[in-house]
A and B are shown apart, each in its own frame.
Chain A
């Protein structure tokens, strides 16, 4: 089996301060001889928990929290996840030892990273072989049901990291502002997978949003639920030419749910899946922060020099399919 530890590309963390972009879920992918394929688990996800207590959280409490977190992702309609806690271990996360480990580590050097996930992947198939999650003890943690400032909520951050473990990248569904001391502060967001956490004490991220559910459903959903949902596909063009990295957002006019995607090739093609049938408003916008590495490989060229724009008509999404491809025409800033 051709394995590699995909560190730079597939180390995904949750930051207290980071970049900002608009809305969209994003699946993690790996380049294979047959092109880019999404990464996913194809077998039982068995995980260990590092047997070490930290300030405010014991190892059994961490294990119980992770069980809730896996249960939350597995409760998305149509999503079939098989997972199980294997036991406590002395192993540390972020060690390529062939087992999935969740635990705390002291990483004061990562002063803006609350937690992170890494993967080992079969780069021929995209199958995830191993994934670890660590929570940074440079921050204080809480398992309090109502949250406990100034501690970060372990369940909220854990839900984000397990989203990565399952194959999701960062969502852009959020807005931030620059902090005087550096980095950014979240103003508002609508996805657990947004790369910046709510402030300490907040527990809003214990609940998955439409963007999160669509993302995980796009990877794992099967059966009748998936067949009853639809998608929007098309391209974003600037002066008639497609480009990489535009955010495309779909608003369900009945429910107000936001789900999005990105243009992921130089033809400007995008696809937003796992949408409830209905009538949508579709909007394209740039990643309006120069740091795009929270979303894409640092070597990727992303066009951010265009104005946001709406698709010229409402878009109908059918049950179990997609409507005609659309073209969203944008203009330069």
Chain B
């Protein structure tokens, strides 16, 4: 996934020809795949008379990789500049790996399902158009809400992302709702802050892939 981000960002180095404008509007939908996010370690500790700690057990926390869907609606601002609003839903797990149990309980992984509802505003700048291929660099900021699958806990947070988008045109008709159709492949690095109180409270970073189709005119 990281390699793909590299390829897409490298593509930004190409000089775009003075090509046709991007479509006036586009609507896309696709599958969203998020990589796991580290959430730190937590130890259950006691204090010794000398001030040292005795660890009863330790947890290594993370949010597992998740799978979901995302839709985008974008419109042209300038010849190469587009604005975009995107909404996504991802199903993942909060996971704590238990280790170093003081009384010898074997290591075990405990999970709690979580749904993430994401929304963001983005801008995309077209760097390349060559044949059927268009390449964009995309930056976004937004927010998200996490809800455990048992609907007990809710947490809100903010996010920012940066990545590259490739469109491969598969249909170009002079008119009609589906006048222009393309495959969309996107790789982005997402930084999230907040959400359900789980593990450490630092920012969480995960590569994310989106693959789908867009239609537009």
Contact = CB atoms under 8 A, between A and B. Distances in A.
Contact of B57 (A190, A204, A276, A283): A283
A281 interface: yes
Q: Do most interface residues of chain B lie in helix, strand or loop, or is the interface mixed?
A: strand
B7 interface: no
Contacts of B48: 187-188
B53 A308 contact: no
Interface in A246-278: 249, 251-256, 258, 276-278
B36 to A, nearest CB: 15
Interface in A275-333: 276-279, 281, 283, 285, 288, 307-318, 323-324
A173 interface: yes
Contacts of B90: none
B200 interface: yes
A175 B102 contact: yes
A186 B94 contact: no
Contact of A253 (B47, B59, B105, B150): B59
Contacts of B49: 186, 188, 198-199, 202, 204
A60 B42 CA distance: 44
Contact of B201 (A254, A311, A323): A254
Contact of A256 (B42, B98, B108, B148): B42
Contacts, number: 115
B198 A281 contact: no
Contacts of B61: 253
A51 B3 CA distance: 78
Contacts of B57: 251, 281, 283
Q: Which of A188, A285, A316 has the largest count of B CB atoms less than 10 A from its CB? A: A316
A307 to B, nearest CB: 7
A103 interface: no
A310 B110 contact: yes
Contacts of A278: 153, 196-198
A279 B197 contact: yes
Nearest to B196: A279
B47 A318 contact: no
Q: Which of B45, B94, B96, B200 has the largest count of A CB atoms less than 10 A from its CB? A: B96
Interface in B51-88: 51-54, 56-57, 59, 61
B46 A189 contact: yes
B110 A173 contact: no
Contact of B152 (A252, A288, A310, A318): A318
A13 interface: no
A241 B98 CA distance: 26
Nearest to B55: A188
B206 to A, nearest CB: 18
Given A254-B199, A256-B44, A315-B112, A279 B94 contact: yes
A254 B110 contact: no
Contacts of A288: 103
A198 B49 CA distance: 6
A174 B102 CA distance: 12
Contacts of A202: 49
Q: Which of A173, A251, A252, A312 has the largest count of B CB atoms less than 10 A from its CB? A: A251
B150 A310 contact: no
Interface of B: 42-49, 51-54, 56-57, 59, 61, 94-96, 98, 101-103, 105, 108, 110-112, 148, 150, 152-153, 196-201
Contacts of A285: 103
Nearest to A311: B110
Given A253-B61, A312-B110, 13 more contacts: A22-B56, A188-B53, A277-B153, A279-B197, A281-B110, A308-B101, A308-B103, A311-B110, A313-B111, A316-B148, A316-B152, A317-B152, A317-B153
B168 to A, nearest CB: 41
Contacts of B54: 175, 187-188
A323 B111 contact: no
Q: Which of A253, A258, A312 has the largest count of B CB atoms less than 10 A from its CB? A: A253
Q: Which of B44, B48, B105 has the largest count of A CB atoms less than 10 A from its CB? A: B44
Contacts of B102: 175
A11 B49 CA distance: 26
Interface in A20-58: 22-23
A127 B101 CA distance: 40
Nearest to B95: A314
A253 B148 CA distance: 15
B197 A256 contact: no
A102 B38 CA distance: 52
A276 B200 CA distance: 15
Contact of A323 (B51, B103, B150, B199): B150
Nearest to B43: A256
Contact of B153 (A23, A308, A311, A318): A318
A253 B46 contact: no
26 contacts: A22-B56, A187-B48, A188-B46, A188-B49, A188-B53, A190-B46, A199-B49, A202-B49, A204-B47, A251-B42, A251-B57, A253-B59, A254-B201, A277-B197, A278-B196, A279-B94, A279-B112, A279-B197, A279-B199, A308-B103, A310-B108, A313-B110, A314-B94, A314-B110, A316-B112, A318-B153
